[in-house]
Chains A and B, each alone.
Chain A
Amino acid sequence: MLNISKLHASVEDKEILKGLDLVVKPGEVHAIMGPNGSGKSTLGHVLSGREGYEVTGGTVDYFGQNLLELETEERAREGLFLAFQYPVEIPGVSNMEFLKASLDAQRAHEGKEPIDAVSFMKQARELCKKVNLDQQFLKRGVNEGFSGGEKKRNEIMQMMLLQPKVCILDETDSGLDIDALQVVAEGVNSLRSPERSFIVVTHYQRLLNYIEPDFVHVLSGGKIVKSGDKSLALELEAKGYGWLGADVA
């Protein structure tokens, strides 16, 4: 469903991704680990089509389409979801308005009418419960003044609302307390299905105890330098990145 091949990308003329390969098949969970600054978030930004992240080489195939040709919003409506490492605050626009606009955009793409307000509210309230956010968070500005952990749970809430096909979670576990980590993991696990895939970027083996990956990759210096099964995460936790060789930062 997602086939990334020899991907090169630059930010402000600085090459960050240097020939990255990754193939994700339906139902799989891929964990990506790697040193700070190695390009993990950049990969997420490139896949989401962020302005300023220029693809200079390689291809990304998404369900038979050239992903790189689609606008950011089209990628989203086609089921690509990115949970941000640093979710953006949008004061003055309520979380509720934002969530409904997102859902309606996707529905329109599927040829459906906007969801009626009552059903939407019901759904939103249920999701709040699932990610353990008070309903007051629906009325507040998008991520406005949310704590780090609350922002991450809000990302998971959006993911659960939109039911995407490929979910990229960029350090969604960072800054979470133990309970919140479980909430996030349960959210992800509840969405796991043979059709849906996840790319989980994390620094900690801890999350992978809850969300069991099929593959673990090490991204370093802009490409995948090692792949393995979940035991690789344990090994990295014990040994760090140094043993992987000279080209690892």
Chain B
Amino acid sequence: MNYLEAIKNQSESLQAATPEWMHAIQARGRALWSAQTWPGKKTEAWRYTSLVKVEKTLASAQTGKAAGFEAAVAENTLQFKEALQVVIVDGRVQSVPDTLPEGLQLAAFSNLAEADQRSVAEKLGTVVETEKHLFAVQSESLLSEGLYIKAKKNAAVSVPIYLVFIGSQAANFRVFADLEQSASLTLVEHYLSLESEQEQQLENTCTEFSLADNSQLNHYRLNMQAESALHVGGVHAALAKHARLNSFYLAFGTALTRIDAGVKHVGEGSHTNMYGVYLPRNNQHVDFHTNLEHCVPHTTSEEVFRGIVGDSARAVFNGRIHIYPQAQKTHAQLSNKNLLTSNKAEVDTKPELEIYANDVQCAHGATVAQLEEKSLHYLRTRGISEEEARVMLSFGFINELIEQLELEAIRDYLRPILAKRFARSSELSQHLL
């Protein structure tokens, strides 16, 4: 049985186990899935990323109960002063906070009131262009659980919503965040794996954000799974007038991490800040496909991705900027800088500009380089060993982006983890901690 068929069968058999409102969506997914041709080397969106490992998982079903996940949560999570924490284990929501701030709704799909079921069913798939993303199609086909978040009009939710994903086996999950007019929200998606797990997990999370006029979302997606994990999925946002999205991605690298991040600026004055960092090493593979669409006049975006690729690892970065004919006065900036720390490491970076308006400013740049000799020399002339200098420079390259993050808890959490990531011994990171 091939992968496409396996998913279809699994989708059909899901019906009995899932609420009725999901069935139409699953069927829609199945229809799209049947129409898919499985990507090969010639499929542009998958040119540098092989799906062989995904096929091998043969879409094993999710179990929803990974033994011992509590310890993983306790040991590895961020230390917020206050947060609305939701733990999701292999695609199953463990619990949702009982008391929520004024104006915030937060519920598992499996636990929605009837009225909300209807509205979620209507909304799912309205932000992501499902048919354009293989794993969004899979996500619809296998829809069984998700999280619905709504910040009501004018609600300024100051406590971050913190989603902890613990994976050990296959997981299929949806997030939909709905920000009404002038609402604001912070959402953290943090992906972890169970330490002991040897199995390859295929984790697919498709996240959608709908930002109404003047709303603001701060979004963080931290992918820090075990080396063997397979993570696919995407984050898709639509921004109405003067809406603002600040997003940050971190991918440590796993056997396969592929994230499609798309933003549609559909309201004038909307703005996106998208920062990202990827750090694959060993034989890991990280692939970011970003797509910033400017559909109306006077919208802006700033995108900065940096990667450090070591050993025999491979990184793919595809940054698309699409400016519609009517989208005059768009300002879009894209920068992608890569450091290679080994001569077997590889980066494929490709800016993809489609600009159909004439009165726009669009700047882009991509570099692939090694640590700068003159920076190394400068540190060494102060007595710092070459090895420590390399650690400091690698760290600095990434820390430049981390320093700018809004959430202190995330900066504090990442700093030591990153310092250690670049150092082979604790001595080499001692001056960064």
Contact = CB atoms under 8 A, between A and B. Distances in A.
Contact of B396 (A51, A72, A73, A92): A92
Given A90-B393, A93-B392, A100-B431, A109 B374 contact: no
Given A84-B378, A87-B378, A88-B374, A93 B393 contact: yes
Which of B383, B403, B430 neighbours the largest number of chain A CB atoms within 10 Å of its CB? B383
B378 A88 contact: yes
A141 B383 contact: no
A172 interface: no
Which of A52, A76, A93, A158 neighbours the largest number of chain B CB atoms within 10 Å of its CB? A93
In the complex, which range does the number of interface residues on chain A fall in? 20 to 34
Given A93-B393, A97-B392, A102 B399 contact: no
B385 interface: yes
B375 interface: yes
A98 interface: yes
Given A92-B395, A101-B392, A114-B430, A48 B383 contact: no
Given A97-B432, A141-B400, A90 B373 contact: no
Contact of A102 (B382, B386, B400, B403): B382
Given A72-B377, A93-B395, A109 B383 contact: yes
Interface string B261-272: 000000000000
Nearest to B385: A73
Contacts of A49: 380
Contact of A101 (B378, B386, B388, B400): B388
Contacts of A208: none
22 contacts: A48-B381, A72-B377, A72-B386, A76-B382, A76-B383, A84-B378, A84-B381, A87-B378, A90-B375, A90-B379, A90-B393, A92-B395, A93-B392, A93-B393, A97-B431, A101-B382, A101-B431, A105-B384, A105-B388, A114-B430, A141-B400, A162-B382
A32 interface: no
Contacts of A97: 392, 431-432
A50 B377 contact: yes
A77 interface: yes
Contacts of A87: 378
Identify whether the interface residues of B are mostly helix, strand, loop, or mixed: helix
Interface of A: 48-52, 71-73, 75-77, 81-82, 84, 87-88, 90-93, 97-98, 100-102, 104-106, 109, 114, 141, 158, 162
A174 to B, nearest CB: 18
A74 B398 CA distance: 28
A47 to B, nearest CB: 10
Nearest to B382: A102
A120 B432 CA distance: 15
Contacts of B393: 90, 93
A162 B392 contact: no
Contacts of B378: 84, 87-88, 90
A93 B399 CA distance: 8
A90 B431 contact: no
Contacts of B398: 92
A82 B381 contact: yes
B80 interface: no
Contacts of A102: 382-384
Given A87-B378, A105-B383, 15 more contacts: A72-B386, A81-B381, A84-B378, A92-B400, A98-B384, A98-B392, A98-B431, A100-B431, A101-B379, A101-B384, A102-B383, A102-B384, A104-B430, A104-B431, A114-B430
B383 A52 contact: no
Given A72-B377, A88-B374, A93-B399, A106 B383 contact: yes
B397 interface: yes
A92 B377 CA distance: 17
Contacts of A81: 381
A105 B397 CA distance: 22
Nearest to A87: B378
B396 A158 contact: no
> Top 3 nearest A-B pairs by Cβ distance?
A92-B396, A105-B383, A102-B382
A91 B372 CA distance: 13
